[in-house]
A and B are shown apart, each in its own frame.
Chain A
Amino acid sequence: MLPLYFGPPSRRLFGAFHEGSPGRAQSLGVLLCNPFGQEAIRTHRLYRVLAGRLAQAGVHVLRFDYFGTGDSAGEDDAADLESWRDDVLLAQRELQRLSGALEFTWMGARLGGTAAVRAAQQMPATEPHLVLWDPVVNGPAYAQLLRAKHVEALEISYSLPDPAWRRQLQAEPASFRDEAIGIAVSPAMREQLAALREDQLDVPLASDAFVIADPANRAVQAWVAAQQARGARVESVGLPQALEWTSDDSLNAALVPAQAVQELLLAIDR
């Protein structure tokens, strides 16, 4: 694995490039797009395991942190969905440069899947194969989830939680919007989440998408059906919730659900 920084001086992004095993080198490059905040921290190990398995099979993989996240430059509150979209495109160019690959798959979990779709809309000529794991297709619902999970995290973390937190969460819609489980949420991110709807996430007709989602996630299932109805090449497979995404739960366990890894490998290899 090669750790590196890439991008212009004003926007240095951290990346980890896993070169495909030379004996089995393929023409495929895979870009792994992180989810948001605590979800990204929880999936770090899973992404690393996935990258390692793909590299062993000869696939070139780039993991990276968006600006304002992980080891990349920028503070938490510099991150927003539009800049994430641009970072996916920047990382794609870096992957292309490092690997010389000819075909590309972009895999994104949660808000990382959302960013991948938006990036594909910007760069249709690349025709990436998209693998989307429990993508966020409705921004307001996700923002609401972040608020609730933040308060839940506070209640678990403090020995003597303040009962006012929960009352505030329920009574004041503007409360707990600026931070989510220890990560600042920028005003731009809040506005973009508030505006994000299913109909803005059309998969380009030149691409195709494979969606792995909890069958109980009706929003994603409806979005998949809508995409298929408009003629986009979108398939889906059900994977009952493999891990609790937005949580501090199992803080000291590396969460790498075997079934999820298997499904992702199959989806990427299609």
Chain B
Amino acid sequence: MTEAPVLFGPDRNLLGILTSPQEHETSGPVACLLLNVGVTHRIGPRRLNVKLARQLAQLGIPSLRLDLSGIGDSAAAHSRTSFREQSIRDLQAAMDLVESTTGIRRFVVLGICSGAANGYWLALTDKRVVGLLMFDGFTFPTSKTQLIHDWQRLRTTPLKTVIVKAVRRLKRLFGVATEAAPASIFNAVSDASLPTRGEFGSALQSLVDRGVALYLIYSGSLLVHHNYHGQLSDAFENAPFLTRIRYDYMPDVDHIPTPLTAQTKFMSTVCDWVLGVAAPSTDSAQQRAGQGQVPAKAHPA
């Protein structure tokens, strides 16, 4: 395995680390892009991108972990495009670089949180993306999500706090101003241009129709947003794409995996899935990646 720093992009303002397996160990014609999570630089929270890159290289998969314009060690771009548009351009420049360096033209994008959103916009734009993992990406709560959330809160909150919150709710009901509730982790990284449920469903359908392998994982940090196995199925009931993507709810893994045991589980799951996407076969990338694992009915939380 080798790791090399690269400066790239039209202004050579983007910095990444290209991790390559030994030549004879390359296992398939895909490379991975490892994206920023929030404003954390390319190593990722908990150094997760470095650890993932090295595990992937052990499995024969090259990867590029990079800083988007204005994040980490990449200078801001000169253009005046939106953050989303600039992110897409940066990631396309990253694919250009890997393509010119390794000859690989098929990419699997691994995104956590805001990285999942950036990967999603890229996949919709560029057909070189053949696999997309979204960990704590967009999620759509159902009425069951709300019920579970309320029950869990009630179950774990001291009686005094329950009463205080109930009084606050009553005050809100009767128009008495109270302080705004703090944003959750997920809300804090969301922007105003999130896709609607319909847009998201259509987008996932278009991606699977294009042959893109999709893997959606939700952590145990999103009580308000995603809190039971099968929520995705309930949120998109009967959508055809559900049988062609892979989905997991991992309550024992947190939003940016903190315990080393959670990191191990997350990384081995991701690496296995990437290997499935990369495996040379006549089957589609979706079949190779073990898709179609979305439970038809919601499981009990």
Interface residues of A, Cβ cutoff 8 Å to B: 1, 3-5, 12, 14, 16, 41, 44-45, 48, 69-71, 73, 75-76, 150, 153-154, 157-160, 178-179, 181-184, 248, 251-254
Contacts and interface: CB of A to CB of B under 8 A. Distances in A.
B188 A182 contact: no
A158 B256 CA distance: 10
Interface string B217-232: 0001111100100000
Given A70-B47, A182-B258, A3 B7 contact: yes
Interface in B15-43: 15, 17, 38-43
B117 interface: no
20 contacts: A1-B15, A14-B17, A16-B73, A41-B41, A41-B43, A45-B39, A45-B41, A45-B72, A73-B3, A76-B47, A150-B258, A154-B254, A157-B255, A160-B152, A181-B258, A182-B256, A182-B258, A182-B259, A251-B40, A251-B188
Contact of A153 (B43, B258, B263): B258
B263 A182 contact: yes
Contacts of A183: 46-47
B220 A179 contact: no
A69 B47 CA distance: 8
Contacts of A1: 15, 73
Interface size of B as a range: 35 or more
Nearest to B41: A44
Interface of B: 3-5, 7, 15, 17, 38-43, 45-48, 50-51, 72-73, 114, 152, 156, 185, 188-189, 220-224, 227, 251, 254-260, 263
B260 A184 contact: yes
Contacts of A159: 152, 220-224, 227
Nearest to B183: A252
Contacts of A252: 38-39, 114, 188-189
Contacts of B220: 158-160
Contacts of A69: 47
B5 A157 contact: no
B43 A71 contact: yes
